[in-house]
Amino acid sequence: MAWGPGTLFQEREKSITSEGDDVLNRGTDDRDTEIRFQGLTIGGSYQFTPSAQLLFDYQFRRYDAPRLDSNSTTNSLLDGVDNRFGVRFIYQLGF
């Protein structure tokens, strides 16, 4: 995660394969049952006062099982995974 003045950019990567995707082999270590995860999060922040800050981000997510039939139960469930939007408000009390 990298912070800049008023902005946030985060790219989520776990175990990277040669294609640049995250891969989950469903307990079989077999490429025919792998699930690929791709995600990118972008966001920003606004500081109202030195102690109050609003953070927001949007995560683009794509999941698929490329070697399974497109009508398989796994791909049907993965098609239901949507992108995410998040908002956080941070207020720091000064003591």
CB atoms within 10 A of CB 47: 13
Mean pLDDT of the chain: 76
- pLDDT tens, 62-78? 888 888 888 888 888 88
Supply the pTM of this predicted model: 0.59
pLDDT, residue 5, reads: 40
Asked if residue 42 has pLDDT above 70, the reply is yes
CB atoms within 10 A of CB 37: 18
Contacts by 66-73, CB closer than 8 A, 24 or more apart: 66/34, 66/36, 67/31, 67/32, 67/33, 67/34, 68/32, 68/33
Read off the tokens for 23. Answer: 């891969």
Residue 59: strand pairing partners: 41, 84
Q: Is 13 helix (H, G, I), strand (E, B) or coil?
A: coil
